[in-house]
Amino acid sequence: MVSDELMDKFKRFELKADSELDARVHEGIDRLDLGARPLWSCLRWGKWVAVLLVGALLLWPYAPRNVAWSQVAERFEAVPYVRVSLNLNNEQIDYHQHMELWLGGQGRLRIATDSQVIYADQGEILKAVDSHDGALATPNQAACDVIRDLGSWQTISLDTVLRAVLQEPLVDVTPADDLDRSVWKDLVMFDSRSHVGSGRIRIYALRDSKLPVSFRIWDTDDGLSVEATFLYEKQPSEAFFTP
């Protein structure tokens, strides 16, 4: 058996970074059973077991876990509601526009942009009103394009959302490997390109939940850049989507 002195040293060992990890190391040490071996052999073997055990437990929470694009798309389809905060910019023509999109189940959609709120259902605009006085308004053209391309849905598709913003489908979605090491344990990143043009597209998702959290489009031929954030909030009531 391992000497009492060595076991006592193991039990006094502390990992300052994480008390839960420290407890798991001690639990592993308690389960060690090295059998009847010469003391010098047990000491040497026990030391390397402790080193390997501590090393494995330290690295395990931060080890990268591969996430496929299909998993991200599938996970997104499982959410009943999402809010998308969208910023469109073009420095060449001094164009800046912000949109908030609330996508509910069964094709319900609400968009706030400029000074108006637009309600849509199954790809059809129901009403556009001034956000200040509630008067009828002419729907914003960019919002109309998004509504048209989102179309109707029962479950929300990530590919559809991206295509509605891009005005074209994604092609060649591949994992990217240049993510900053300080956030790599939390995020995965995918690169894509548009079907036409020279735009670069990057999508970020949470590694554990596989939910997309943002995407960027830049270096387009026409100077347009897009930044979007996905927000997973409590689903609003039916009245929120009713004009």
Residue-wise pLDDT for 67-103, tens only, equals 999 999 999 999 999 999 999 999 889 999 999 999 9
* Both structure tokens of 180: 């900053």
Let me know whether 37 and 90 are in one domain: no
Let me know whether 122 and 50 are in one domain: no
Q: Which residue type occupies 188?
A: V
Let me know whether 157 and 46 are in one domain: no
Let me know whether 47 and 151 are in one domain: no
Number of compact structural domains in the chain: 2
pLDDT digits (tens, 9 = 90+) for 142-172: 999 999 999 888 888 998 898 888 777 777 8
Let me know whether 84 and 36 are in one domain: no
Let me know whether 133 and 22 are in one domain: no
**Among the listed residues 55, 1, 64, 65, the one whose alpha carbon sits nearest the alpha carbon of residue 24:** 55
Let me know whether 197 and 170 are in one domain: yes
- Amino acid 197: pLDDT: 62
3-state secondary structure 193-223: EECCCCCEEEEEEECCCCCEEEEEEECCCCC
Last residue of a domain, one of 14, 46, 62: 62
What distance in Å separates the CA atoms of residue 36 and residue 136, rounded to the nearest whole number?
87
pTM of the model: 0.70
Show the domain range for 157: 69-241
Let me know whether 94 and 112 are in one domain: yes
